[in-house]
Amino acid sequence: MTRLKNDTLIRALLRQPTEYTPVWLMRQAGRYLPEYNQTRSRAGSFLGLCKNPGYATEVTLQPLARFELDAAILFSDILTIPDAMGLGLYFAEGEGPKFERPLREEWEIRDLAAPDPGVELRYVIDAVGEIRRALAGSVPLIGFAGSPYTLACYMVEGGASDDFRTIKTMLYARPDLLHHILEVNARAVTLCLNAQIEAGAQAVMIFDTWGGSLSHAAYREFSLAYLQRIIAGLKREHAGARVPAIVFTKGCGNWLEDIAAIGCDGVGLDWSVDIGEARARIGNRVALQGNLDPAVLFSPVEVVERETEKILASFGYGGGHVFNLGHGISQFTPPENVKILVDCVHRASPRYHGNNANTRAS
């Protein structure tokens, strides 16, 4: 494999010195880009994009052609894993993802099995290999998966939910059933991420979108414990290079120290957390990723630049920061504002690195 020309993201995640703060965006390949919509139209559907490695490669590379991003992220979906378990993923127009066969009966839950990524998720692994080859060592490729609890939310509810009534009823009334789902999901996610690493992913990220909806005790038992299990089972080195792992729980402010202690290299922050305070709380144990409010990108140029610089200043001097949004980019975002953001990070961040880092106040 070609040696990385730009390894700034990897070094930042490993808390090594960098010349500037690397930047990539959650959902950077998506509906805000007209070229993405054209490719999606050719593919026929969102799942048509995900399940065709050629199309997945095409849309993964599109934002890199427009913006000087420091990483590519595999174009796929967290729900490909439960789809491969036979739950029947489909996307209803204007309604988001749904499952034809949500987990409601005990026998269905007991029969659940982790899919073989080399068979049922072959298209995901093939896409990783194809994207890695197409990148030709320009920037690192990030692989990803959903967290066991977030996947379980969709698998039990049958789709998105406002109150998570069905899964929370299971959590409190039949925790044994939910733990069984989570154990299978943790095994499936570990297998899938390791297969992505073997196929060429140079960093991996776990999206725990709904962990923040849990109570304090329930988060530790039903989300964090399984995140820790995955981290413990990941390949942390491949082809002689370290493979960093990032964990992102939306609404994670209460549990920053706990997440930092599970063995991951980076912790993703949503926009409700002050990144400077987060750094003060967890020190240099992990890198921090984030955490601009995606709504800022609807603002005038000077506001985008001002808010971007605030995040950089709040994190302060030294390495260990990957600039990102606090959640996925909105489909209504003007692409020109994304360029403003990316260029601002590259222009404004060097002052916090190199020799300047030595002047950081203790």
pLDDT tens digits, 74-98? 999 999 999 999 999 998 777 789 9
| C-alpha of 86 from chain center | 24
Q: Which residue has the higher pLDDT, 254 or 256?
A: 256
- Tell me, yes or no, if 27 is annotated catalytic: yes
Whether the CA torsion 11, 139, 48, 93 is positive or negative: it is positive
- Residue 361 has a pLDDT of 37
CA angle 132, 134, 136 (to 5 degrees): 75
Number of domains the chain contains: 1
Specify whether 11 is catalytic.
no
Q: Which amino acid is at 58?
A: E
Q: Is 77 a catalytic residue?
A: yes
List Cα–Cα distances, 124 to 53, 74, 106, 129, 144, in angstroms: 7, 9, 30, 9, 10
Task: Please give the pLDDT value at position 131.
Answer: 98
pLDDT score for 362: 33
pLDDT mean over 192-198: 98
How far is the C-alpha of 197 from the C-alpha of 24, rounded, in Å?
A: 19
Confidence tier at 3 by pLDDT (50, 70, 90):
confident
pLDDT, one tens digit per residue, over 295-329 is 999 999 999 999 999 999 999 999 999 999 999 99
- Residues of the chain with pLDDT > 90, as a percent, come to 92
Q: Is residue 1 part of a domain?
A: no
pLDDT-based confidence at 116, cuts 50/70/90? very high
Average pLDDT, integer, range 184-208: 98
Q: Which residue of the set 40, 132, 187, 279 is catalytic?
A: 40
- Can 20 be counted among the known catalytic residues? no
What are the phi and psi torsion angles at 188 (to 5°)?
-65, -40
User: In this structure, how many other beta carbons lie within 10 angstroms of the beta carbon of residue 127?
Assistant: 27
pTM of the predicted protein model:
0.96
Structure tokens at 259: 């997440």
Query: Is residue 107 situated within a structural domain?
Result: yes
Burial class (CB in 10 A: 0-12, 13-18, 19+), 13: buried
Using CA atoms of 262, 272, 151, 94 in order, give the dihedral in degrees to the nearest 10.
-160
Confidence check: pLDDT of 215 > 60 = yes
The mean pLDDT of 115-123, rounded to a whole number, is 97
Q: Give the C-alpha separation, 304 to 350, whole Å.
A: 18
Q: What does the pLDDT read at residue 153?
A: 97
Q: Which of 70, 77, 83, 208 is catalytic?
A: 77
Tell whether the model's pLDDT for residue 342 goes beyond 70: yes
Does residue 240 lie within any of the structural domains? Answer: yes
Choose, from 27, 132, 187, 279, the residue flagged as catalytic: 27
The pLDDT of residue 91 is 87
Active site residue 154: yes
Range of the domain at 90: 8-359
Check pLDDT > 60 for residue 357: no
2 lies in some domain: no
- Among the listed residues 55, 154, 226, 352, the single catalytic one is 154
3-class secondary-structure state, position 205 = strand
Structural domain includes residue 3: no
284 pLDDT higher than 50: yes
Amino acid at 130: E
Task: Identify the three-state secondary structure at position 328.
Answer: coil
- Of 31, 66, 281, 285, the catalytic one is 31
pLDDT at 2 > cutoff 70: no
- The answer to whether residues 243 and 7 touch, using CB atoms and an 8 Å cutoff, is no
Considering the domain boundaries, does residue 113 fall inside one?
A: yes
Q: What is the mean pLDDT of the chain?
A: 95
Q: Which amino acid is at 115?
A: P
pLDDT of residue 360 exceeding 50: no
For residue 20, give the DSSP letter.
S
Residue 143's domain is classified under what CATH number? Answer: 3.20.20.210
**Do 173 and 103 meet the contact criterion of CB atoms below 8 Å apart?**
no
Rounded Cα distance between 357 and 195, Å, is: 37
For residue 100, being part of any structural domain is answered with yes
pLDDT value at 1 more than 80:
no
